[in-house]
Amino acid sequence: MSSQIIVQVAGRQRSVDQGTSAADLFADDRQVVVARVDGDLVDLAHVLADGDVVEPVLVSEPEGLQVLRHSCAHVLAQAVQAADPQARLGIGPPIRDGFYYDFDVEAPFTPEDLKALEKSMQKIINSGQTFARRDVSDGEARRELAGEPYKLELIGLKGGSADEAAEGASVEVGGSQLTIYDNLDRTGTVVWGDLCRGPHVPTTKLIANGFKLMRSAAAYWRGSEKNPQLQRIYGTAWPTKPELTAYLDRLAEAEKRDHRKLGAEMDLYSFPEQLGSGLPLFHPKGGVLKRVMEDYVRQRHIEEGFDYVGTPHISKEGLFHTSGHLPYYADSMFPPMEMEGSTYYLKAMNCPMHNLIFSSRGRSYRELPLRFFEFGSVYRNEKSGVVHGLTRVRGMTQDDSHSYVTPDQAADEIRHLLKFILGLLDDFGLSDYYLELSTPDMAGDKKDKFQGTPEQWAGAVEVLETVARETGLELVADPGGAAFYGPKISVQARDAIGRTWQMSTIQYDFNQPAGFGLEYQAADGTRQQPVMIHSAKFGSIERFIGVLVEHYAGAFPPWLAPVQVVGVPVAEDFDDYLKDIAAQLRAAGARVELDLSDDRFPKKIRNASKSKAPFILIVGGEDRDAGAVSFRYRDGSQKNGVPVAEAIAEIMAAIRDRVQV
């Protein structure tokens, strides 16, 4: 037999010895942490076979970074069990920017515990342990993990789906091989192990330069309130120390911009416990911001050919069966209410009611595209663990629109909506964005989660993808992310510190028109089914406000600022003069506040600066005598002796032109 095999690397064939591993193949590149063989991620210790297609995966790539973080999670679990042998293991997956691991322990972790665990992890990492994969049978796994009840539960899920099994077991749909990863010391002795699908970095030393434990929190096992509550430790890991430092700096900046903190400081909104989780209250200044946004988007919808409609907050159960949301969306809806012998639901979406408006009378092809729009209050039964300020709420207002078009009009309508959305985001200062295309996963048991035929889905995806590519924007695939009734394009916007937020969405729906029996009379006299295109420009106004607060760090452009001008007199003698200027500004349409308190002038200036108003107007004796004012801007610069008429013109121009100051 030949001692050589042929593998394909980077599109080129290579002849290597039998028994060659991926580590041997990429030994000269220390940035390679795992490999992809025939499309599957594997450890570098994986021995190659004849005909394998092999690709290196660098630690700087998303998949390589995930493996680094997953390995760091295992080091954390080893450190926890070294400190507390009675700690029972949950799961420890990589997540965005880091990882977590869940533990069943007697008492919650303290900040001091995390510091001690970091030191223990550093010792493990520095010792240069290696990760070794080992295939085991169900029985072997059960014997080895007899003291780990949560791991035993995952073994019991081996016949279920990979989603059910989560991170903890190497399980494919329909069942497959279980694997344990052993941590070996320099002598090859097993010092710790964990049930895991892998892969892992070859040595813990790759984690040495950039990891940190961030915080701990309570978490239900497998996300269900019916299960035991565990203690979760969150951490982060990066290939280098500078990357870790940069990430921590970004976090510090994000903390300064936290919309919950700024909302309280600026008196915009609050989240009273008496009201309930995820149900915000908008205060007068927050109400101004919300009204300005509503006025803007209402006018823009009218300009774009939409008709304003209104629908109630609740509906009979049958409507949501017709739309298909029950049972597909039932878990995200609030529990039903019984009234007068009927079952009612708080609405979680507006589209079923818009369909009733469409079907309220006969429609002709001459009316299409027919566009409905409303500010619809909807309610989502979000889990308490994911509710977060304004960015994840249970009660929200959507600028929801639905376009009813012929199939031939669908592409043009999507172009129209995308142009509308991108213009809106630009107006609000979110000009760095890309597109994401969410498609169905029609494989295996997941195909039952999507209504319609594969052919219908393929046609809808093709239309969305074609229009999306025409924009020239980056287009990212989101396989399996589609709603049950159709694929969608979402606009992913980056804020001032580089974070990505899902903003507006456009969804192609061929299912609800069929469910509601929607029809229009075509030019040839036949009855045809329209295509329904869902679109939300803000998504939810609440979430959009939360994103804007953080994007601008509360320093809104003049047209959006709840208070556009703060007037500060140098002394009480100039109050009346300042009141007259404020009256002129209000008459011109500006939002003005005056500080006529008894505070000393320097404190008034500090308070005005903290308010984040775009313009601070200061008046003293020289200003009054000259019929002028002095400007103080956000950057601390000042302009003195500006005639009142010129000052008002400057302020109103900045508001009108939506400039940033």
Which of 387-409 are b and which e, b meaning 16 or more Cβ less than 10 Å from the residue's Cβ? bebbbbbbbbbbbbbbbbbbeeb
231, 301, 347, 351: which is the annotated catalytic residue? Answer: 351
Neighbours of 443 (CB within 10 A): 10
Give the DSSP H or E segment for 235: strand 229-237
Helices (H) and strands (E) in the chain, counts: 20, 33
325, 354, 402, 416: which is the annotated catalytic residue? Answer: 402
Sheet of strand 314-316, all strands in order from the earlier edge strand to the far edge: 314-316, 342-346, 337-339
In this structure, what DSSP letter does residue 336 have? P
Neighbours of 287 (CB within 10 A): 14
For residue 142, indicate whether it is catalytic.
Answer: no
Rg (CA), the chain: 30
Angstrom distance (rounded) from CA 510 to CA 649: 51
Report in angstroms the alpha-carbon separations of 184 from 99, 125, 130, 413, 424.
22, 12, 5, 60, 56
Residue with tokens 């506040």: 593
78, 129, 231, 398: which is the annotated catalytic residue? Answer: 398
> Which amino acid, one-letter code, is at 384?
S
Determine contact, residues 133/181, Cβ cutoff 8 Å: yes
For residue 600, indicate whether it is catalytic.
Answer: no
For residue 380, indicate whether it is catalytic.
Answer: yes
Determine contact, residues 49/21, Cβ cutoff 8 Å: no
Residue 181: name the closest of 196, 171, 169 by CA. Answer: 196
CA 621 vs. chain centroid, Å, equals 52
Residue 446 tokens read as 């997941």
Residue 306: name the closest of 382, 401, 434 by CA. Answer: 401
380, 416, 537, 543: which is the annotated catalytic residue? Answer: 380
Residue 266 tokens read as 């600026």
Angle at CA 141, nearest 5°, toward 138 and 147? 130
Q: Which residues contact 333 (CB under 8 A, 6 or more apart)?
A: 320, 325, 326, 345, 346, 348, 379, 380, 381
43, 399, 400, 595: which is the annotated catalytic residue? Answer: 400
For residue 182, indicate whether it is catalytic.
Answer: no
Determine contact, residues 226/242, Cβ cutoff 8 Å: no
222, 285, 488, 624: which is the annotated catalytic residue? Answer: 488
Instruction: Just list the catalytic residues.
Output: 351, 380, 398, 400, 402, 488, 534
